[in-house]
């Protein structure tokens, strides 16, 4: 997949081209304030077939969890292949209004809302935020096995290394694009994040970033 002539306000980006795989996970990295969320919102505008999860979503605060999921289902073009209620343990919450849920509970509902749409592209702005480790792991399993294209913003380099098929790095008003092997190297990441980042190797060969 490819989009040409991407330009963002405040000179965050000018006439850039980005590409990503039809299926798999593309992880977007970069310092705070470089325009990652702005870019994701622009992609949502340019890709009407995509399902988009912003960082904050309070437009349905006064309706029930069940109603939110029904709205997601209305956007689907085929029967659901995943029981999102079971996947995110939402059964006890179905009758509750969104505004009465904790941040983590709301995030689980919004992720279920996204997945039930069965969109060909998922645009996720920090989807791991507010999730405890159990649901982070569950979401990751769902995304890795999904027959869809995922573009997600994360801040954890080790998570990016584990799940990404493709990497975007936003830096100095440009987008660097490549495979995890190409993009997740100490020199580039240290320059991007303006701090020393070193990849370590355990005795059994496992690689991880020491930040």
Q: What is the pLDDT of residues 76-120, one digit of tens each?
A: 877 776 789 999 999 999 999 999 999 999 999 999 999 999 999
Residues 162/128, Cβ–Cβ less than 8 Å: no
Looking at residue 22, the DSSP 8-state letter turns out to be S
What are the residue ranges spanned by the domains of the chain? 1-49+121-211, 57-119
Report the Cα 5 to chain-centroid distance in Å. 22
Give Cβ neighbours of residue 145 (< 8 Å, ≥ 6 apart).
Answer: none
Per-residue confidence band for 57, with pLDDT thresholds at 50, 70 and 90:
confident
2-8 and 207-210 beta bridge pairing: unpaired
With 80 as the cut, is the pLDDT of residue 207 above it?
A: yes
**Class of the CATH domain delimited by 1-49+121-211:** alpha beta
Q: What's the confidence (pLDDT) of residue 210?
A: 82
Q: Which tokens hold the place of 159?
A: 């998570």
With 90 as the cut, is the pLDDT of residue 136 above it?
A: yes
What does pLDDT average to over the chain?
92
């Amino acid at each position: 997949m490819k989009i040409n002539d991407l330009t963002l306000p405040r000179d965050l980006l000018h006439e850039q081209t980005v590409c990503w795989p039809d299926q798999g996970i593309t992880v977007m990295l970069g310092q705070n304030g470089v325009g990652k969320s702005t870019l994701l919102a622009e992609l949502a505008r340019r890709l009407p077939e995509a399902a988009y999860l912003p960082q904050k979503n309070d437009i349905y605060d006064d309706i029930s969890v069940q109603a939110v999921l029904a709205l997601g289902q209305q956007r689907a073009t085929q029967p659901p292949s995943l029981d999102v209620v079971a996947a995110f343990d939402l059964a006890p919450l179905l009758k509750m209004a969104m505004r009465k849920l904790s941040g983590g509970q709301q995030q689980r509902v919004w992720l279920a809302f996204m997945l039930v749409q069965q969109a060909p592209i998922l645009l996720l702005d920090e989807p791991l935020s507010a999730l405890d480790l159990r649901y982070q792991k569950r979401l990751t399993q769902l995304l890795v096995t999904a027959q869809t294209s995922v573009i997600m913003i994360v801040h954890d380099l080790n998570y990016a290394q584990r799940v990404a098929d493709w990497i975007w790095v936003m830096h100095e008003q440009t987008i660097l694009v490549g495979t995890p092997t190409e993009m997740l190297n100490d020199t580039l990441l240290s320059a991007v994040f303006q701090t020393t980042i070193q990849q370590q190797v355990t005795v059994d060969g496992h690689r991880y970033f020491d930040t």
